[in-house]
Chain A
Amino acid sequence: MNAPDRYERFVVPEGTKKVSYERDTKIVNAASFTVEREDHTIGNILRMQLHRDPIVLFAGYKLPHPLQYKIIVRIQTTSQSSPTQAYSQAIDDLDKELDYLKKGFEDEKTRFEEKLRQGY
Chain B
Amino acid sequence: MAEKMLGGAGASRTSYQRYPRVRIREMKDDYLKFELRDTDASMANALRRVMLAEVPTIAIDLVEIEVNSSVLNDEFIAHRLGLIPLTSDDAMSMRFSRDCDACDGDGQCEFCSVEFFLSVRCDSDQTLDVTSADLQSTNPRVCPVDVAANALSSAADGYESAEQKGIIIVKLRRGQELRLRAIARKGIGKDHAKWSPAATVTFMYEPQIHINEDLMETLTLEDKRSWVESSPTKVFGIDPNTQQLVVIDAEAYTYDDEVIKKAEAMGKPGLIEIYPKEDSFIFTVESTGAIKASHLVINAIDILKQKLDAVRLQDEESDMKELTSHLGNL
Q: State whether B8 touches A98 (Cβ < 8 A).
A: no
Is A72 an interface residue when CB atoms closer than 8 A count as contact?
Answer: no
With a cutoff of 8 Å between Cβ atoms, the chain B residues found around residue A11 in the complex are: 98
Contact status B308-A84, CB under 8 Å: no
Complex: A21 Cα to B319 Cα, angstroms? 11
Q: Contact between B20 and A104 (Cβ–Cβ < 8 Å)?
A: yes
Report the stretch among B101-109, B229-237, B297-305 that lies at the interface.
B297-305
Q: How many residues of B contact A (CB 8 A)?
A: 50
A23-B325, A48-B42 given; A42·B308 CB < 8 A: yes
Does A42 contact B301, Cβ atoms closer than 8 Å? no
CB distance from B283 to the nearest CB of A (A): 11
Q: Kindly report which residue of chain B lies nearest to residue A71, judged by CB atoms.
A: B311
B contact residues around A84 at 8 Å (CB): 313, 318, 321-322
Residues on A with beta carbons closer than 8 Å to the beta carbon of B98: 7, 11
How far apart are the CA atoms of A10 and B311 in the complex, in Å?
13
CB of A82 within 8 A of CB of B302, answer no
User: Interface readout for B156-189 with A: 1 if CB under 8 Å, 0 if not?
Assistant: 0000000000000000000000000000000010
As a 0/1 sequence over residues 96 to 108 of chain A, the CB contacts with chain B under 8 angstroms (1 = contact) are 1111111011101
The yes or no answer to A57 lying at the interface (CB within 8 A) is no
Q: Are A42 and B190 in contact (CB under 8 A)?
A: no
A68 — which chain B residues lie within 8 A by C-beta?
A: none
A108 lies within 8 A of B24 (CB): yes
Q: Assess whether B67 is interfacial by the CB under 8 Å rule.
A: no
B24 touches A97 (CB 8 A): no
Q: Give the interface size bracket for A toward B.
A: 35 or more
Is residue B218 within 8 Å, beta carbon to beta carbon, of the partner chain? Answer: no
Q: How far is the CA of A98 from the CA of B90 in the complex (A)?
A: 22
Interface: B199 (CB within 8 A): no
A78-120 interface (Cβ within 8 A of B): 80-82, 84-85, 87-89, 91-102, 104-106, 108-109, 112-113, 116
Distance to closest chain B CB from A54 (angstroms): 8
- CB 8 Å contact bits of A51-88 with B (1 = contact, 0 = none): 01101000000000000000000000000111011011
B30 within 8 Å of A by Cβ? no
A108 touches B22 (CB 8 A): yes
Interface of A, helix, strand, loop or mixed by DSSP: helix
Q: Which of B16, B18, B188, B322 contacts A53 (CB 8 A)?
A: B16
B46-A41 in contact (CB<8A): yes
In the complex, A116→B161 CA distance in Å?
28
Whether A94 and B313, one on each chain, are in contact in the complex, defined by CB atoms closer than 8 angstroms, is no
Q: Specify which chain A residues have a CB less than 8 angstroms from the CB of B40 in the assembled complex.
A: 48
CB distance from B43 to the nearest CB of A (A): 6
- Are the C-beta atoms of B297 and A105 separated by less than 8 Å? yes
Interface residues of A in 1-45 (CB under 8 A from B): 6-7, 9-11, 17-19, 21, 23, 33, 35, 38, 40-42, 44-45
* In the complex, chain A residues whose CB is within 8 Å of the CB of B314: 17, 19
Rounded to whole angstroms, the CA-CA distance of A11 and B40 in the bound complex is 29
16 contacts between A and B (CB under 8 A): A9-B190, A18-B310, A33-B313, A42-B308, A48-B40, A52-B16, A82-B8, A82-B9, A85-B9, A95-B305, A95-B309, A97-B39, A99-B305, A101-B20, A106-B298, A108-B22
Interface residues of B (CB under 8 A from A): 7-9, 13, 15-24, 27, 34, 39-40, 42-43, 45-46, 49-50, 54, 98, 188, 190-192, 294, 297-298, 301-302, 304-305, 307-314, 317-318, 321-322, 325
User: Which A residues lie at the B interface, using CB under 8 A?
Assistant: 6-7, 9-11, 17-19, 21, 23, 33, 35, 38, 40-42, 44-49, 52-53, 55, 80-82, 84-85, 87-89, 91-102, 104-106, 108-109, 112-113, 116
Q: A41-B50, A80-B7, A105-B301 are in contact. List 19 more A-B contacts (CB 8 A).
A: A21-B321, A33-B313, A40-B45, A41-B46, A48-B40, A48-B42, A85-B13, A87-B313, A89-B15, A89-B16, A94-B308, A95-B308, A96-B15, A97-B20, A97-B39, A102-B302, A105-B297, A105-B298, A106-B298
